[in-house]
Amino acid sequence: MELLESYRREHKRKRIIVILLFSAMVLMSIVCLFVGSSHMSVSDCTAALMRKGVPTNIRIIWNIRIPRVLAAIIAGAGLSLSGLIMQTTLNNIMASPSTLGVSNAAVFGANLSIIVFAGGFLSTGNNLSNYMIGVNPYAAGMVAFVFSTTSILLILGLCKTRSFTPNVVVLAGVALGSVWTAATTILQFYATDVGLSAAVIWSFGDLGRATYRTDAIMFVAVGLGYLFFMLMSWKYNVLLTGEPTAKSIGIHVDRLRFLSLLLASVITAVCVSFLGIIGFVGIICPHVTKKLLGQDHRHTIHASAICGSLLLLLADTLSRSMGNGSALPVGAITSLLGAPFFIALIFSKEERR
């Protein structure tokens, strides 16, 4: 009876933490919606939400801020979930969405689209106005996604031909990521000034690119991944006890690892292809939730998604508050927030053990 009562207390404690995190995320969403470089008052924002008041304020709220807030919630959840699942399936506490070279491949794809194919600056030259008229705004994102998924499939395919072990996956990801980085450097070396500038700006994590359409696409990818991960949560818990134990009760470990990594990487690819590189979300949030809730994926999957959304909302609010009239790249803010935390994590007593 004592054991059962202790389990119930612990389960209740975890549910309370998840509810508190969700409440903090909702509160931060409201703050993020009302804060920005336009310096609208709370009453102006409220009126604009009801489609009243100054038309400019209505456009800012409905066409800029709401898509940004939705993008922060969806992408933050997706990147954090991807990091959690990668850390579990690879048995590597330092694993993150960039482990398989997904981000590197996306950057190369976007650079290829911008520098070579998007008018290639072969017809537009250095005339930025011609470039803005002639380029499909979704072209870079689509090419980035294609290269990201190609990179994922190539890595997982190579690992299938040999032993599908976590170390092989990580090493293959690091090696292929270096190849994408080198190829990106070569492309940028031959780019024009305008091409190089556009390619570098794309790589900045920027929620300002979000639209209702891109939010919907990200939501579908993250939602499907979330449902799959929840269905597999008990298998992830068993996997934490070791592969022999998981195999002894009938879990196909290699298949679970393959599907989990593929789906986590696709989620990352979708988010990165639309928003650019947003670092540290996929490594900070899973660690925070595991410290708060332990290793039970029935709880950590929920909490990790919420924590990722909360972190990206906070970063976006800071980026628009500190920009002095323009929003700073949110990827830079997450790195500034994440680097000290990551260093503290590395040197903590628990991680040293």
For the chain, give every domain's residue range.
Answer: 2-352
Q: Could you read off the pLDDT of 82-110 as tens digits, one per residue?
A: 999 999 998 888 788 777 888 899 999 98
Q: Are 32 and 61 in contact (CB under 8 A)?
A: no
By CB atoms closer than 10 A (0-12, 13-18, 19+), residue 159 is: buried
Q: Which residues of 258-289 are buried (b: 16+ CB within 10 A; e: fewer)?
A: bebbbbbbbbbbbbbbbbbbbbbbbbbbbbbb
Q: Could you read off the pLDDT of 32-83 as tens digits, one per residue?
A: 999 877 778 888 898 999 988 888 999 999 999 999 999 999 999 999 999 9
- CA 202, 208, 210 angle in degrees (round to 5)? 95
Structural tokens at position 138: 């979704």
The whole-angstrom separation of Cα 111 and Cα 105 is 10
What pLDDT does residue 133 have? 45
What pLDDT does residue 78 have? 96
Q: Which residues pair with 204 in a beta bridge?
A: 277
The whole-angstrom separation of Cα 269 and Cα 292 is 28
In 3D space, the residue among 231, 269, 38, 260 whose CA is nearest the CA of residue 143 turns out to be 269
DSSP code of residue 207: G
How many residues are there in the chain?
353
Is this model's pTM higher than 0.85 or not?
yes
Consecutive 10-residue averages of pLDDT for the chain (353 residues): 80 92 96 83 89 89 94 96 93 80 89 72 44 58 88 84 76 89 92 82 86 95 96 94 88 90 91 89 90 91 96 91 75 84 68 50
DSSP alpha helix (H) spans, the chain: 2-34, 42-49, 55-59, 66-89, 102-111, 128-134, 139-161, 166-189, 193-203, 212-231, 233-239, 243-248, 253-275, 281-293, 297-322, 330-346, 349-352
DSSP code of residue 53: S
What is the fold of 2-352?
A: ABC transporter involved in vitamin B12 uptake, BtuC (1.10.3470)
- What is the Rg, in whole angstroms, of the alpha carbon atoms belonging to the chain? 21
What pLDDT does residue 239 have? 92
Structural tokens at position 286: 């899973």
